[in-house]
Amino acid sequence: MEAKYFEPFLDAFKEAVCITDSQGVVLHINAKYSRLTGIEKKDIVGKNLQELVDGGHFDIVLNPIIVKGKVETSRIQNLMNGKKLLLDGHPIFDDQGEVACVVTFIYDITTLEELKEQVIAQRELLETFKKLQSIDAGEQRICPLVVHSEAMRRAIGQIGMLAETDATVLLLGETGVGKDVFARRLHASSPRADKPFIKADCGSIPENLVETELFGYAPGTFSGGIKQGKVGLIEAASSGTLFLDEIGELPLAMQSRLLRLLQDWEIKRVGSTTPTKIDVRVIAATNKDLEEEVAAGRFRSDLYYRLKVAVIRIPPLRKRKGDILPLAQCFLEFYGARYKRSCELTPAAGQALTEYRWPGNVREMENLIHGLVITSANDRIDEGDLPIKRSSAPPINIADAEAPDLDIADRSYKDIMRELENQVLLAGLKQYGSLQEMAEHFQLDRTTVFRKVRAMAKDLNMPMPVNKRRKRKSTKDS
pLDDT at 408 over 80: no
Q: Give me the percent of the chain exceeding a pLDDT of 90.
A: 38
pLDDT at 392 over 50: no
Q: Is the pLDDT of residue 248 over 90?
A: yes
Q: What is the arithmetic mean of pLDDT over 367-371?
A: 93
Mean pLDDT of the chain: 83
Q: What is the mean pLDDT of residues 262-280?
A: 91
Per-residue 3-state assignment (H helix, E strand, C coil) for the chain: CCHHHHHHHHHCCCCEEEEEECCCEEEEECHHHHHHHCCCHHHCCCCEHHHHHHCCCECCCCHHHHHHHCCCEEEEEEECCCCEEEEEEEEEECCCCCEEEEEEEEEECHHHHHHHHHHHHHHHHHHHHHHHHHHHHHHCCCCCCCCCCHHHHHHHHHHHHHCCCCCCEEEECCCCCCHHHHHHHHHHCCCCCCCCEEEEECCCCCHHHHHHHHHCECCCCCCCCCCCCECCHHHHCCCCEEEEECHHHCCHHHHHHHHHHHHHCEECCECCCCCEECCCEEEEEECCCHHHHHHCCCCCHHHHHHHCCEEEECCCHHHCHHHHHHHHHHHHHHHHHHCCCCCEECHHHHHHHHHCCCCCHHHHHHHHHHHHHHHCCCCEECHHHCCCCCCCCCCCCCCCCCCCCCCCCCCCHHHHHHHHHHHHHHHHHHHHCCHHHHHHHHCCCHHHHHHHHHHHHHHCCCCCCCCCCCCCCCCCCC
Sorting pLDDT into bands at 50, 70 and 90, what band is 374? very high
The per-residue pLDDT for 227 is 67
Predicted local confidence at residue 417, as pLDDT? 85
Task: Give the pLDDT confidence score for residue 345 in this predicted structure.
Answer: 93
pLDDT of residue 474: 45
Q: Please report which confidence band the pLDDT of residue 115 belongs to, taking 50, 70 and 90 as the band edges.
A: low
Would you state the pLDDT for residue 349?
Answer: 92
Q: How confident is the model at residue 120 (pLDDT cuts 50, 70, 90)?
A: low
Rounded mean pLDDT, 404-431:
80
Region of poorest pLDDT, from 130-134, 171-175, 318-322, 386-390? 130-134
pLDDT tens for residues 301-314? Answer: 999 999 999 999 99
Over the stretch 1-43, which tens digit does the pLDDT of each residue have? 556 778 888 888 888 999 999 999 999 999 999 988 888 888 8
What pTM, to 2 d.p., does this model score? Answer: 0.56
pLDDT the model gives residue 468: 52
Q: How high is the pLDDT of residue 305?
A: 94
pLDDT above 70: percentage of residues in the chain: 84
What is the average pLDDT across 224-240?
A: 82
Q: What mean pLDDT do residues 187-192 have?
A: 92
